[in-house]
Amino acid sequence: RAASLSELPAPRRLRWKFLPEIQKRISSSAEKLERLVKNLDMNVHKFYDYGKEFIKKQKMSPDAYIQVALQLAFYRCHGRAVSTYESASIRRFQQGRVDNIRSATPEALAFVKAMTEGKLSSSDTEKMELLQEAINAQTKYTILTITGKAIDNHLLGLREIAQEMKMEKPEIFKDEAYLISNQFILSTSQVPTTVEMFCCYGPVVPNGYGVCYNPQPDHIIFSVSSFHESPLTCSADFVRCLVQGLLDMRDLCNRCKRGSDSAEQRNGQMQEMHSHTKTRDKTPQRKSGQTKSQPASPQVLVRSSEQEIQTKKPS
């Protein structure tokens, strides 16, 4: 043991005396914990192909971009969109904690369908427009959420008030759509740090995924979790779809940027040619019948008797 800087005595192991019933419960809890640990399918992946700096150069929000990529990954894995939870801080309000950014927007679904089902039918320009619309929708809902205008905490408050007042549960909270919308099969959170680290957590439903990510300037760290006992999920498959989706989105941005740069270059060349043509058109033209060997007669100024300036050609 290293020399202690404290005057406190060295720690010593405490030996507890248990009744057989308590010992049995402790052993049972330890076995249950071990089963839970073994059931967790955790996959930590460092995506090195690019990071948030590339996304910023596209004039897009890194968080919104990654959320759309997660929608694309899930759709490619499972062929559908599901309720998605992204935590957003509302600590700007007194006693505020978090609310939910619902990332499964109609705009995101349109984009992932174009990237998955419409590879041949949709042009790069159309896909890029859909990507921008998806990111704009995600950004707009994020702003609504962090300013206290999202729906989840509002509905939760109404539900709890009804319960406190011992009211019969309102019909909206029994509706199938409401129940499904609160089964967050995809639970996500951004935890950005200035150091190389990652956070992780488990899924919130048996057939779901937990995805935590840390965007860095030149790479992104993902931790993806699911449960081994679920036949519907696989963390490794989700990561593969996520990586491919991020690469496809990067390639789409690059292709559209090259096309935009080429169009700007062509436009610049056309403007230059147009400017040159206008300059040439302004060049003085010779009069009819005047040749290069017959230069225009020079004009001289003479004064009349009234001291007026006149123009006269020499005879």
- Does residue 242 belong to any structural domain of this protein? yes
Which one, of 47, 89, 91, lies nearest residue 66 by Cα? Answer: 47
- Does residue 9 belong to any structural domain of this protein? no
- Does residue 37 belong to any structural domain of this protein? no
Q: Is the dihedral of CA 133, 137, 139, 140 positive or negative?
A: positive
- Does residue 115 belong to any structural domain of this protein? yes
- Does residue 157 belong to any structural domain of this protein? yes
| Strand-pair partners of 106 | none
- Does residue 159 belong to any structural domain of this protein? yes
Give, in order, the Cα–Cα distances in Å from 25 to each of 16, 19, 22: 15, 10, 5
pLDDT at 170: 96
pLDDT < 70 regions, the chain: 1-5, 119, 259-315
> Which tens digits make up the pLDDT trace of 37-89?
999 999 999 999 999 999 999 999 999 999 999 999 999 999 999 999 999 99
Domain extent for 222: 42-260
- Does residue 71 belong to any structural domain of this protein? yes
- How many domains does the chain fold into? 1
- Does residue 244 belong to any structural domain of this protein? yes
Domain containing residue 235: CATH number: 3.30.559.10
